[in-house]
Each structure stands twice: as C-alpha cells, then as structure tokens.
Amino acid sequence: MTMPQMSKIGLSFACAAMLAAPTVAQTDQWCFPASSITDNGSITRTVIVPPTADVRTIVGVRVRVAATHPWVGDLSFTLRHPSGVEVVLVDRPGIPSVGFPGPWGCGGDNIDCWFADAATGVAETTCSVTAVPVLAGSLRPTGALASLKGRAPQGTWTLIAADAVAGDVGQLTAACVEITTAPDCNLNGVDDAVDIAAGTSADVDLDGVPDECGCVADLDGDGAVTSSDLGVLLSAWGTCGGCAADLTGDGQVLSDDLGILLSAWGGCGNS
C-alpha cells in the first residue's frame, strides 16, 4: 500500500471516527468456545479482544459460566487477563464443607451463573441438594474482578476450567466475559470523565476530553490538533521506535494512536 493510499484510508476513517467517536462507557461481551472438561485435569479456552480506535480502560467485568457436571464440588474456574493477572471465580464450592455430607464439596449438579462483584450470594459457599443448576443467577466470585479495573481490555483473555477429582465428567457449555470500558486518552487507568470530575484533569474547552490529551496529540506544536497533526501521524504509520506519533508508547503507530488524536481534535486547552 502506497502512502497516498494509506492517507486516503486514514482520512476516511478519521471523518467517520469524528462523527461517531466513543465518548462514554460501553459494554461488550466476548465468548469462549465450549469444550469438554478433562476429568481430573484442566482445560484452557481463549478469546481475543481486539484494540479499539480510542484508548479505553476497564471499569467493570462480569463472567458467565455454564457447565454440566454431576458434582460441582470438583470444579474450579479462573479468569486470566491478557496481562497475566488472574481472578479465581470459584474454587471447588462447598470445600470446606457448607453442610453437604462428606469432605468432597458440593454434590449438586451443573452451573449456569454470572460471576459479579456486586452479587449478594457467594459462589464458594452456595450449595443445594435440590436446585439444578446448583450454582445459578448472579454470584460473587472467590477473587475480586475489580482487580482488573484500570487495565487495557485488548489482548488474549483465558478461562481455565479444572476438575480436581476423577470419576465424574463435565462439559463447559457456555462461557463469556462481559467487559465495560471507558475512554482513557491520558493513559492513567482512570475514566477520562472521572479525571475531569475529580479535578485531576482540566477541561477548559468543555469537550469532555482532558486538555493534556490535546497537547499530547499536537504533533506539530502549533497549539491545536488539526489535519497537519493527522498528516504527521499517517506519515509515521506502522512500526515507529520512539517517534512523537506513537501516542500510546507501544512502538507502533496504529488505530489506537489515531483514536487519541481524533478525540483531542481542536485546540490544546492548556497550551
């Protein structure tokens, strides 16, 4: 692709993005493939969350897990963020005993629930000898999904399903991670609207974008973010070691950098 072609594509994308650039929190759901769960073993299933046009940070996560198994006390589920941070959703419910006979955990059948920090019921201690599925509705996970807040959503997410005892076979029938994100053009891990409301970031021009983002995107130093800066960014498209157009600092000039520039379009409020 020649640079003129790249510029036409970039400019077309720029026009569309300026008309519909995301400025509020949004929620997306990404689902893992179904699979049998290895008896007395574990499986991993992954899903790739692609980058967005603007830089966004996680402000909330929920996880759905649906599985068939005749003894859920054998099962554990863990969610792994692309950074490697893990959150245990449930670890052999009913162990230690919550009343079901024997030391083997909850003997109920099946799981179909949403793991959410705001839930009142606790997955680890929920057990019924009559309800099917035994874990259902909204339940609080063993670990805190809030530990993923402020992190980038894009990358490979992993669900780990483990069966600790031989003899009962299970199936992961459905599993999804629901991610709520908000704009984070200044890359501090906080929703831009929260930065402005708290006074951490100024917003002199009242455009809902922290003023420092406009300055970062002012690539030609003229105090405004305009087509001139867009041209600088497009001319550096691709791998770019330490150049000014690499607004995310990841060594590349791609759509996420373009999103930052577009979200800062106009004057540089604190210049």
Does 263 lie in the same domain as 236? yes
In this prediction, residue 8 carries a pLDDT of 38
CATH number of the domain at 204, please: 1.10.1330.10
Point out the domain boundary residue: 152, 183, 214.
Answer: 183
- Mean pLDDT, the chain, whole residue set: 84
Does 260 lie in the same domain as 172? no
Decide if 246 contacts 207 (C-beta within 8 A): no
In this prediction, residue 101 carries a pLDDT of 56
pTM, entire model = 0.69
Over residues 194-202, mean pLDDT: 86
Q: pLDDT for 38-47, tens place per residue?
A: 999 999 999 9
In a domain, 244, yes or no: yes
Does 102 lie in the same domain as 159? yes
In a domain, 133, yes or no: yes
174 vs 32: CA distance, rounded Å: 7
Tell me: pLDDT of 91 over 80.
yes
Does 197 lie in the same domain as 80? no
Burial degree of 235 (CB within 10 A; 0-12, 13-18, 19+): middle
23 vs 45: CA distance, rounded Å: 32
CATH number of the domain at 132, please: 2.60.120.260
Question: Domain containing 137: what range?
Answer: 26-183
Over residues 6-28, mean pLDDT: 50
Point out the domain boundary residue: 136, 157, 183.
Answer: 183
Does 136 lie in the same domain as 11? no
Q: Is residue 97 very low, low, confident or very high in pLDDT (cuts 50, 70, 90)?
A: low
Does 31 lie in the same domain as 18? no
Does 160 lie in the same domain as 239? no
Point out the domain boundary residue: 153, 183, 213.
Answer: 183
In this prediction, residue 214 carries a pLDDT of 62
Lowest mean pLDDT among 58-62, 100-104, 258-262: 100-104
Q: Is residue 203 very low, low, confident or very high in pLDDT (cuts 50, 70, 90)?
A: confident
Tell me: pLDDT of 79 over 90.
yes
Angle at 144 between CA 143 and CA 147, to 5 degrees: 125
Q: What is the 3-state secondary structure (H, E, C) of the chain?
A: CCHHHHHHHHHHHHHHHHHHCCCCCEEEEEEECCEEECCCCEEEEEEEECCCCCCEEEEEEEEEEEEECCCHHHEEEEEECCCCCEEEEEECCCCCCCCCCCCCCCCCCCEEEEECCCCCEEHHHCCCCCCCCCEEEEEECCCCHHHHCCCCCCEEEEEEEEECCCCCCEEEEEEEEEEEEEECCCCCCCCHHHHHHHCCCCCCCCCCCCHHHHHHCCCCCCCEECHHHHHHHHHCCEECCCCCCCCCCCCEECHHHHHHHHHCCEECCCC
Does 177 lie in the same domain as 97? yes
Does 32 lie in the same domain as 87? yes
Does 168 lie in the same domain as 221? no
Does 70 lie in the same domain as 33? yes
Does 86 lie in the same domain as 200? no
Q: pLDDT for 106-125, tens place per residue?
A: 888 999 999 999 999 999 98
Tell me: pLDDT of 90 over 60.
yes
Q: Give the pair of three-digit tokens for residue 63.
A: 């996880």
Q: pLDDT for 142-152, tens place per residue?
A: 999 999 998 88
In a domain, 254, yes or no: yes
What's the structural domain count of the chain?
A: 2
In this prediction, residue 255 carries a pLDDT of 87
